Amino acid sequence: MGITSSHTNSSSNTMPAGAKAATELAKKLIASNRVMVFAKSYCPYCHRAESELKKNNIDFFKLDLDLRKENDGSAIQTSLLELTGQRTVPNVFANGHHIGGCDDTLAALSNGTLVKLLKGEPGKFAENQESAESSAKETPTPIREARM
């Protein structure tokens, strides 16, 4: 006679509360910032992407996942993987469009794609088109580093 379990995996389609909160935070940050950079403080690729954005006078909001007081950086990074298919940092978004990592960001700066995305229609990660359009008409947000 063996031990049986009545536990079923009925929650396979639902997200744990922490993961859901991380996903909602990531989506909110992407939607509310014209350029959003998810980074880690020690990452040389993040530093390079940030440096090039600054050189090109592109204002952005940066969240260093490893410096979060809430220790939810890994959950946010996993959420970004589920949203974009990319786990690495930097993970860059412009006007609700996923740009990608460092090389993708440098290419988008070099070929003008990033500027076109900022001037164009909001992408699928924008909260809603109306709020993104109104924020696009405002003065860009200065570079801020989040230590949330």
2 in any annotated domain: no
Q: What is the CATH number of the domain that holds 121?
A: 3.40.30.10
Q: Is the confidence at residue 17, as pLDDT, over 80? A: no
Sequence-ordered list of residues with C-beta below 8 angstroms from that of 123, at least 6 positions apart, any chain: 93, 94, 95, 96, 97, 98, 117
pLDDT (tens digit per residue) in 68-86: 999 999 999 999 999 999 9
pTM, entire model: 0.76
Range of the domain at 56: 17-146
11 in any annotated domain: no
71 in any annotated domain: yes
pLDDT (tens digit per residue) in 24-34: 999 999 999 99
At 76 the pLDDT is 97
How far apart (Å, rounded) are the C-alpha atoms in residues 59 and 144?
8
At 136 the pLDDT is 39
23 in any annotated domain: yes
12 in any annotated domain: no
140 in any annotated domain: yes
What's the total number of domains in the chain? 1
C-alpha distances out from residue 85 to 22, 130, 133, Å: 16, 27, 26
Residue 138's CB is within 10 A of a number of other CB atoms, namely 8
